[in-house]
Amino acid sequence: MSVPPRKKIPAVPKKKAAKASAKKKSVASPKKKGTRPKKRSAAPKKKSATSKKTNAAPAKRKAAPKKKTAARPKQVRRKTPPAPSPPPPRRPLLRRALRIAVIAGVALFLLSAAWVVAYRFVNPPITALMLVRYGQSEAEDAVIYKEWRDYEEISPYLVLAVVAAEDQRFYDHYGFDFTQIRKVLESRSSGKRMRGASTLSQQAAKNAFLWPARSWVRKGLEVYFTALLETLWSKRRILEIYLNVAETGDGIYGAEAAARTYFNKAAKDLSPEEGALIAAVLPNPRAMSPAAPSPYVLQRRDWILKQMHNLGGTSYLK
C-alpha cells in the first residue's frame, strides 16, 4: 500500500504560537477555588478629535463691554378715551325744508277750508276790507254801517242788476270767466283800455276773506279762495255773501245799508232803476254815489237796465 504524502503544515510564527498556547492553557486549566478571575482590562480607546469637541463643555465667550448710553426718560402712556359713537345721519336741509313746507301747506289748506265751510252756514260778522277802510278813514265819527239780509230779503232787481253789471256768465262758469280773460288780453295787446275780468265769485272771495291790495300774492290767494267757494258754496250763497259784504259807499257795506242810506227803504223794496244805480257805483263806491249820480253813473245805469232786459229779466236768476 502506498501512503499518501503528508501535507506540509505552515509554520506558525512564534508570537502567534505563544498566544495560542496561552489561550489553551487558560481554557484548559481549572479555576482555583477562592480566586476570582481577573477582569480583563480593556485597552484604552483613543478618543477621536470629534468626541473631544462634543463632550467638552463649550467655553464661555467673554461678553463685550456694553456702551453706556444716556438713560431715556420713561414715557407715560396716556389712556386714550374711547372713540365717540358717530352721530345719527342728518337729513339733507332741502328735504327738511320740503317736509316743513308740505306740513305748513296742509295746515293752511285745512284752516282755510274750515273757514270757508263755516261761512257757508254762518254769516261773516266783519271782514278785512271793513277793518282796513275804518283804519284809513280820517273822520272822527267813522262807523261801519252794515245790516245782514238773507237772499230772499233782497230785491231780485238788485240781484239781476249786479249780475248784469259785473258777471253775465256767472251761472255758466266755475269761478273764472276764461272768455272774458281772453278778451282782456286781446285788449291789452292792441293797446285799448283795460277792462276788468273778475267774476262775482272772485269779488266775493276778495271781499269776504282778503284785504284790498294789488299784488300777486293777494291775486293768488284770491284764485285759491275762489276755487274753494265754487267747490263748497252754491251760486246762491255766493251772491248772498257778496250782496251783504260789498262796499257800496264810504263806510257802507251791503244791500240793506245802501238802500237805507240812498233811498230810505229796505233792500227788498228796491226798483229796477234803484237797483241799477247801486250796481253802477260798485266799481268805485267811495267816489260815486247813487243818491247824487253823475252823468257817467246815469249812463252806466241805462246800460245796466238794457243788459237786464237782454238777459230776460228776473227769470234769468236761478
Task: Give the pairing of strands 145-146 and 252-253.
Answer: parallel
What nine digits make up the cell of 74?
Answer: 420713561
- Which residues are within 8 A (CB) of 240 and not within 5 positions of it... i.e. 6 or more apart? 150, 151, 154
What nine digits make up the cell of 109?
Answer: 289748506
Domain ranges of the chain: 124-316
**Cβ burial, residue 176 (10 Å; 0-12/13-18/19+):** middle
pLDDT of residue 51: 46
Residues 229 and 204: beta-carbon distance below 8 Å: yes
Q: Rounded CA gap, 27 and 21, in Å?
A: 10
Q: How far apart are the first and last CA of the chain?
A: 186
pLDDT of residue 151: 94
State the DSSP H helix or E strand holding residue 247, giving kind and residue range, or none if neither.
Answer: strand 247-249
pLDDT of residue 23: 52
Q: Rounded CA gap, 270 and 262, in Å?
A: 11
Q: How far is CA 208 from the centre of its chain?
A: 32
Phi, psi angles (nearest 5°) of residue 35 = -115, 140
Domain 124-316 has CATH 3.40.630.10: no
Task: Give the pairing of strands 247-249 and 252-253.
Answer: antiparallel
pLDDT of residue 174: 87
- Which residues are within 8 A (CB) of 151 and not within 5 positions of it... i.e. 6 or more apart? 159, 236, 239, 240, 243
pLDDT of residue 29: 46
**Cβ burial, residue 235 (10 Å; 0-12/13-18/19+):** middle
DSSP 169: T
pLDDT of residue 65: 60
Is residue 267 classed as helix, strand or coil in its secondary structure? Answer: helix
Q: CA 217 → CA 201, 211, 213, 228, distances in Å?
A: 18, 11, 9, 17
> H helices of the chain, where?
14-28, 49-55, 93-121, 128-136, 156-166, 178-190, 200-209, 216-232, 235-245, 255-262, 272-280, 295-310
Q: Rounded CA gap, 317 and 315, in Å?
A: 5
Residues 151 and 236: beta-carbon distance below 8 Å: yes
The β-bridge partners of 252 are 145, 249
pLDDT of residue 175: 84
* Parts of the chain with a pLDDT under 70: 1-79, 87-91, 187-196, 318
Q: Rounded CA gap, 222 and 244, in Å?
A: 19
What nine digits make up the cell of 280?
Answer: 253802477
Cβ neighbours around 128 below 10 Å, total:
15
